[in-house]
Amino acid sequence: MKLSRRITNLTEGGSDGWEVFYRARRMAAQGAKITELTIGEHDIGTDPAILEAMHQAAMGGHTGYASVPGVRSLRQAVASRVQAATGVPTGAENVIITPGGQAALFAAHMAVCDPGDTALFLDPYYATYPGTIRGAGATPHALQTRAEDGFQPRRTGLFEAPQGARSLLINSPNNPTGVVYDRAAMEAIADLCHERDLWLISDEVYDTQIWEGKHISPRALPGMAARTLVVGSMSKSHAMTGSRIGWIVAPEPAVAALIDLATNATYGVPGYIQDAAVFALGQGSALEEQIAAPFRRRRQIAARLLEAQNLVGLIRSGGAMYLMLDIRATGLSGVEFANRLLDERSIAVMPGESFGRAAAGHIRVAMTVADDAFAAALTTLLDFARHIARQENKVGQ
């Protein structure tokens, strides 16, 4: 018996990009002491007050089927948050609650793409993007950004997109680079969507982690609200990664169709988790800033360490919990560097190649361990890079 081509072709028979992460976890399970700087998982747990709200909701009986689009109070809380941040009129009817941001990405592509449609996305990209698009039956097509441009999308590169595409997926603040797309980039993206009649799917799960500049939601640009689906999540903003609570903000007809999809796919999100999310959003920006603060500090720690050397380059990041480091001067690829760093220094990072061709020769470092451990790991990483560079120079002589 054969499985469907849709499910067996998610990675086109190749890498899913997570090999170094899986290997680090296996090593740790076997007793090795590994410093993991791989995935975007907070080193603090969900706030106890949020867990208490979840507990009280469950004990209070909100454990049966919840409303498939999401409980009204949560849909309204998300709408109010989005409207306050962007100035775009947003109501509960513009919001559907999903089992996390990943489910929202899949649902958004299911909503706007027919089988065989070309779905565009920007490179570097979060590792699941191509597989998510294939899973929805569309054909992924990457548009390259360049390290030389700080991985900012540029008009020329965007308009190299093939004619006839149906959608464009963007992510700002960006995972893996931490780059916050500037106004010129967002306006070029909007112009492309208008000219080519594209749906825009905007992954904004890192919108509370802004270190420099300003987050611009493209839904707020002229004429874009009618063609934009915004993906959001509690995972990064409230350290609720395991709670699997996300959303899509979209035009009302799209939300109505997405409700039909959810009825036949997920049948909603547990009510007691939604109640906890309502409580968490009710704490306002103070809690979001508290969750973001460790990454702001660690970014400053990294900047000081990297400024003291000139071998490893730092892509100027304006947000998110990651650093993108340029290690091309070592002579190694990102994959080679990450595997050797794990084997020889017991530090796990993600190769840039896991996130597309544009990030080749880079590594992504998640700032997800305590400050002192992070500083020690980054110091070791930089020492390792110098060691490799010396080795490579000797070989070349």
CATH assignment at residue 11: 3.90.1150.10
**Beta carbons within 10 angstroms of residue 349's beta carbon:** 28
> 117 is written with which tokens?
């449609």
Q: Are residues 18 and 103 in the same domain?
A: no
- Under the banding of pLDDT at 50, 70 and 90, the label for residue 397 is very low
**Do residues 341 and 277 share a domain?**
no
233 and 122 belong to one structural domain: yes
* Percent of the chain clearing pLDDT 90 (strictly above): 94
At 391 the pLDDT is 83
E-only strand ranges, the chain = 35-36, 95-98, 118-123, 139-144, 167-171, 199-203, 228-233, 246-249, 313-314, 322-326, 347-348, 350-351, 362-366
Rg (CA), the chain: 21
Question: Residue 178 is which amino acid?
Answer: G
How is residue 391 annotated by DSSP? H
Instruction: For residues 249 and 93, give the distance between their C-alpha atoms in angstroms, rounded to a whole number.
Output: 9
DSSP bridge partners of 144: 123
Q: What is the pLDDT of residue 395?
A: 47
CA atoms within 13 A on the CB side of 271: 16
Positive or negative, the CA dihedral 255, 256, 261, 266 is positive
Residue type, 77: A
Q: What's the mean pLDDT when you consider all of the chain? A: 96
Q: Predicted confidence band at 394 (pLDDT cuts at 50, 70, 90)?
A: low
pLDDT at residue 6 is higher than 50:
yes
Q: Count CB neighbours of 50 within 10 A.
A: 22
Residue 157 CB coordination number (10 Å): 18
Q: What's the pLDDT score for residue 396? A: 42
Average pLDDT over residues 268-279: 98
Q: In terms of domains, do 16 and 110 share one?
A: no
Residues 229 and 335 placed together within one structural domain of the fold: no
pLDDT the model gives residue 178: 97
User: Which range, of 10-24, 234-248, 289-303, averages the lowest pLDDT?
Assistant: 10-24
Residues 6+ apart with CB under 8 A from 121: 129, 130, 133, 140, 141, 142, 143, 168, 169, 170
What end-to-end distance do the CA atoms of the chain give, in Å?
A: 57
With b for 16 or more beta-carbon neighbours within 10 A and e for fewer, the 92-120 pattern comes to: bebbbbbbbbbbbbbbbbbbbbeeebbbb
Higher pLDDT, 11 or 381: 381
Under DSSP, is residue 229 helix (H, G, I), strand (E, B) or coil?
Answer: strand
Q: Which amino acid is at 70?
A: G
Task: Give residue-wise pLDDT tens across range 210-227.
Answer: 999 999 999 999 999 999
Number of separate domains in the chain? 2
3-class SS of residue 126? coil
Task: Mark whether 336 and 274 lie in a shared domain.
Answer: no
User: What does the alpha-carbon distance between residue 105 and residue 112 come to, in Å, rounded to a whole number?
Assistant: 11
Do 317 and 333 belong together in one domain?
yes
What would the pLDDT profile of 320-348 be if each residue is shown by its tens digit? 999 999 999 999 999 999 999 999 999 99
Please report the pLDDT score of residue 13 as a whole number: 77
Residues 279 and 244 placed together within one structural domain of the fold? yes
**DSSP helix/strand/coil, 282:** helix
CA dist 132 and 102 (Å) reads: 8
Residues 274, 304 within the same domain:
no
Residues 270 and 318 placed together within one structural domain of the fold? no
pLDDT at 192 over 70: yes
pLDDT (average), residues 20-45: 96
**Which residues are CB-neighbours of 383 under 8 A, at least 6 positions away?**
none
Statement to judge: residues 75 and 32 lie in one domain: no
The last residue of a domain, from among 285, 318, 347: 285
- Structure confidence by residue, pLDDT tens digits, 75-128: 999 999 999 999 999 999 999 999 999 999 999 999 999 999 999 999 999 999
Give me the residues paired with residue 141 across strands.
120
Amino acid of residue 54: M
285, 312, 335 - which closes a domain? 285
Residues 262, 175: one domain?
yes
Q: Look at residues 248, 268, 285 and tell me which one is the last residue of a structural domain.
A: 285
pLDDT value at 19 more than 60: yes
CATH code (residue 134): 3.40.640.10
Cis previous bond, 173, omega within 30: yes
Q: Which pTM does this prediction carry?
A: 0.96
Taking alpha carbons only, the member of 77, 332, 358 closest to residue 349 is 332
Question: How does pLDDT run across 166-190, given as a tens digit for each residue?
Answer: 999 999 999 999 999 999 999 999 9
CA–CA separation, 314 vs 100, rounded Å?
A: 30
What is the extent of the structural domain holding 246?
Answer: 48-285
Pick from 145, 147, 138: nearest CA to 199 = 138
